[in-house]
Amino acid sequence: MEEMCVNYIHYYPRTKLELCKSHVDPGYLQKYFNFINRFHRNDQCVCGEVGVTEQYSQLQWDAFTTEVLDSLYNTAPISMHCNQSNARLFPGEWDKQPVPVVTSILEKPRYPCEGGALSTSRPLTPPI
């Protein structure tokens, strides 16, 4: 049941960013667990007394629980942890940041195997 999503991004030109991770603000996540347990009339809520993984496993999963969680992930502030290449945190305020907004969607390139045109920017074989 445990799941984690990891994305690796390579920056060019080189930056001092070594690692950056984010998660839903813990306070908002606890409010979610409290709300869902009250909604399902679960008077035995141990919210905050056990770890997050255990709280997820104790939920009664249904369409409502899932939709509310999706809404939380799309709207709740996030807390970020970004390290420089010297392993020190970047200066700044990283807690309770708004969820980034996607301002434009890039078109997926068509690759030759998908019937797309070959790029003309580089030759296919090295020059002789």
CA atoms of 66 and 74, how far apart (whole Å): 12
Going residue by residue through the chain, which has 128 residues, state the pLDDT in tens, using 9 for 90 and above: 466 677 777 776 778 888 888 889 989 999 999 999 889 887 666 666 889 889 998 898 999 999 999 999 999 999 888 888 888 998 888 889 998 888 999 888 887 787 766 555 555 555 55
Domain residues of the chain, as ranges?
17-99
CA atoms of 113 and 111, how far apart (whole Å): 5
CA atoms of 34 and 58, how far apart (whole Å): 12
CA atoms of 65 and 36, how far apart (whole Å): 7
